[in-house]
A = this chain, B = another copy of it.
Amino acid sequence: MTTVTSRSLVQYLISTENHHSSFENEVRKIELPMLAEFGSNATIQCPDFADFGTTLTADGADLTRAEFPLVSASSRHQILKAVPSSTAPTGQRIAVLFSGGPASGGHNVVVGIRRVLGENNVLLGVKAGPKGLLEGDLFEIPADISNILNTGGFDFLGSDRTKIKSDAQLAQVLATVQRFQLNGIIVVGGDDSNTNAAFLAEFLAPHRCAVIGVPKTIDGDLQVSDLVPISFGFDTATKIYSEIVGNILQDTPSSRKYWHFIKLMGRSASHVALEVALQTHPAVTLISEEIAEKKWSLGDVVNYIADVVIQRASAGINHGVVLIPEGVIEFIPEIKTLIRALNESVATQSGSNAVDALSPELKALFQSFPDQIQSKLLLDRDSHGNLQVSQIPSEELFIELTRRRVAALNPEVKFSPLNHFFGYEGRCGAPTRFDAIYTYNLGLVAGALAIRGRSGYMASVTDIFNGGQGIAVPLTGLITTERRSGSTQMVIKKALVTTDSPAFRFFDSRRGEWAKSDLFSSPGPRQLWGELGNQVPITVALNQGAESLGFKIG
């Protein structure tokens, strides 16, 4: 045996550092199909926009028109579609920024924008999110950025969660717009960031600077019927989680002894948990929205889990997987009431004072939780006034309560639980084929809207099973009112799972079988080459009424 280290191997290994693994090198070479209205990658055309023939209004449209008079008047809440054009604007200066948590495909959005802008327009990158817009931290993005094509992460620009709200902040944005002579700003973000984009569009309308949103979030809670079939990043994140959950499921009948309680990122909505359930078929999946709708108590949820544990044990199966959506405990009515009361009392007082301000019933509920959970419930809120639900170890809470319940019902049952939380693993992986293609085209649409000066829209791609159609969805058509942090605010409503959706109904029709015996599957690691990679999320295919999981964009 030689232990001489090969020089060629060492040189190869050093060459892989700094984003140059052989995988990363190869994915950068994958060219992506584009929507017909943009021509071809060899000669990209900038389309124009025409009426799609659909008007979009959310609840409270009158309030919206009052709050957003300029962009409401210009969009008339109508959807636009991209149509081929032989002329292209020139001399436009556009900025792009990432807002909020990263999602796979963000880099392709930037590549799409950069390419549709072409040689005759300038694209500036805003560093580190909305904060960079306030601070004027912008740089010119070169013409060729194919080195970030198909790579995961938001690191090309960075991101943050600054909410642009105050008059002082708006003045800072205006200073940046004027200093960099911006004709447009593209905000790549989730529901809150797109709400911000709408306010910014209204504010900047007199200054001839367009603001465009791009629907991003792994949570999947930014989707609008077939107009915005899904936010980007959801597909990659859920396929990463599905592989991991599939591997753990595969481990259960091999080891024959563990119950894995797996919490999945996704904030309030249960789209991620539902998608992973449909991909892998675990014994139990909690869907927060169903729990809220059926007004289950915490005890009801625990009973449901414990019953499955006991049912399987009676069939000799002492293992299983329980999927828990990140936000579930907010949706259990009694806990929801508690959190709402705490949200308001924590806003004005801290620690034990906030607890003393609760009603006697809520205080008793609060004090029935383990200490660890109690302290998490009192933690500071995020900049949007929301509870940091990811900080609450609900998987540990359910393990402890299930353990007690199983022991009470049948002390003979073996119950060896393990807990996991998957979140950060799924936000920055190399995008799936769907996310790669979808985001590249979202970038093309967003860039075209920006240089055409079409302000106050979210870029989208509809008709994703039949070639795709670039469209623009008026942000003001999505805005409604919601109570947050003790006051009524105008926001884009989060799209939650509904129990009458085809995806939920299908899940509901199968979960009883999945609970009874092992019917799980492993969807495997996502494949970037070959036919296996060409699948949309199962929830999207079901909810869009598709015939299969295969998509076709371009």
Residues of A whose CB lies within 8 Å of any CB of B are 1-6, 8-10, 12-14, 16-24, 26-27, 98, 101-102, 128, 151-155, 158-160, 225-226, 240, 243-244, 246-248, 250-251, 253-256, 258, 260, 278-279, 281, 418, 420, 424-430, 501-502, 505-506, 510, 513-514, 518-530, 532, 535, 538, 541-549
Question: What is the CA–CA distance of A14 and B256 in the complex, to the nearest angstrom?
Answer: 25
Q: Is the CB of A545 within 8 A of B27?
A: no
Q: Is the CB of B545 within 8 A of A4?
A: yes
Q: Which of B254, B420, B428 contacts A154 (CB 8 A)?
A: B254
Question: Least Cβ distance of A52 to chain B in Å?
Answer: 13
Q: Is the CB of B529 within 8 A of A530?
A: yes
Q: A429-B250, A530-B529 are in contact. Are A101 and B159 (CB under 8 A)?
A: no
Question: What is the CA–CA distance of A145 and B389 in the complex, to the nearest angstrom?
Answer: 46
List, in ascending order, chain B residues with CB within 8 A of A501's CB.
3
Q: Which of B1, B14, B541 contacts A225 (CB 8 A)?
A: B1
Q: Is the CB of A18 within 8 A of B527?
A: no
Q: A247-B152, A429-B243 are in contact. Are A3 and B254 (CB under 8 A)?
A: no
Q: Which of B427, B502, B520 contacts A247 (CB 8 A)?
A: B427
Q: Is the CB of A256 within 8 A of B158?
A: yes
Nearest 3 A/B pairs, CB to CB = A23-B524, A525-B525, A2-B545
Question: Least Cβ distance of A518 to chain B in Å?
Answer: 7
Q: Which of B13, B279, B505, B518 contacts A18 (CB 8 A)?
A: B518
Q: Which of B13, B102, B519 contacts A254 (CB 8 A)?
A: B102
Question: Least Cβ distance of A545 to chain B in Å?
Answer: 4
Question: Least Cβ distance of A551 to chain B in Å?
Answer: 13
Question: What is the CA–CA distance of A9 and B548 in the complex, to the nearest angstrom?
Answer: 5
A-B residue pairs in contact (CB < 8 Å), sample of 9: A13-B506, A18-B518, A23-B532, A152-B247, A158-B256, A247-B424, A251-B424, A254-B427, A527-B528
Q: A3-B502, A424-B248, A527-B528 are in contact. Are A538 and B155 (CB under 8 A)?
A: no
Question: Least Cβ distance of A160 to chain B in Å?
Answer: 7
Question: Least Cβ distance of A190 to chain B in Å?
Answer: 14
Question: Least Cβ distance of A417 to chain B in Å?
Answer: 12
Q: A17-B513, A21-B524, A254-B427 are in contact. List 11 more A-B contacts (CB 8 A).
A: A6-B548, A16-B521, A17-B514, A23-B524, A24-B521, A98-B254, A247-B424, A429-B525, A430-B525, A525-B527, A529-B529
List, in ascending order, chain B residues with CB within 8 A of A251's CB.
102, 153, 424, 427-428
Question: What is the CA–CA distance of A429 and B525 in the complex, to the nearest angstrom?
Answer: 8
List, in ascending order, chain B residues with CB within 8 A of A253's CB.
153, 155, 158
List, in ascending order, chain B residues with CB within 8 A of A128's CB.
256
CB-based nearest B residue for A529: B530
Q: Is the CB of A527 within 8 A of B524?
A: no
Q: Is the CB of B428 within 8 A of A545?
A: no
Q: Is the CB of B506 within 8 A of A5?
A: yes
CB-based nearest B residue for A8: B547
List, in ascending order, chain B residues with CB within 8 A of A546's CB.
6, 9
Question: What is the CA–CA distance of A152 and B522 in the complex, to the nearest angstrom?
Answer: 9
Question: Least Cβ distance of A391 to chain B in Å?
Answer: 11
Question: What is the CA–CA distance of A258 and B428 in the complex, to the nearest angstrom?
Answer: 14
Q: A12-B548, A21-B522 are in contact. Are A247 and B429 (CB under 8 A)?
A: yes
Question: What is the CA–CA distance of A502 and B8 in the complex, to the nearest angstrom?
Answer: 14
Q: A153-B251, A250-B428 are in contact. Are A256 and B522 (CB under 8 A)?
A: no
List, in ascending order, chain B residues with CB within 8 A of A513's CB.
17
Q: Is the CB of A13 within 8 A of B525?
A: no
Question: Least Cβ distance of A371 to chain B in Å?
Answer: 12
Q: Is the CB of B13 within 8 A of A538?
A: yes
Q: Is the CB of B527 within 8 A of A6?
A: no
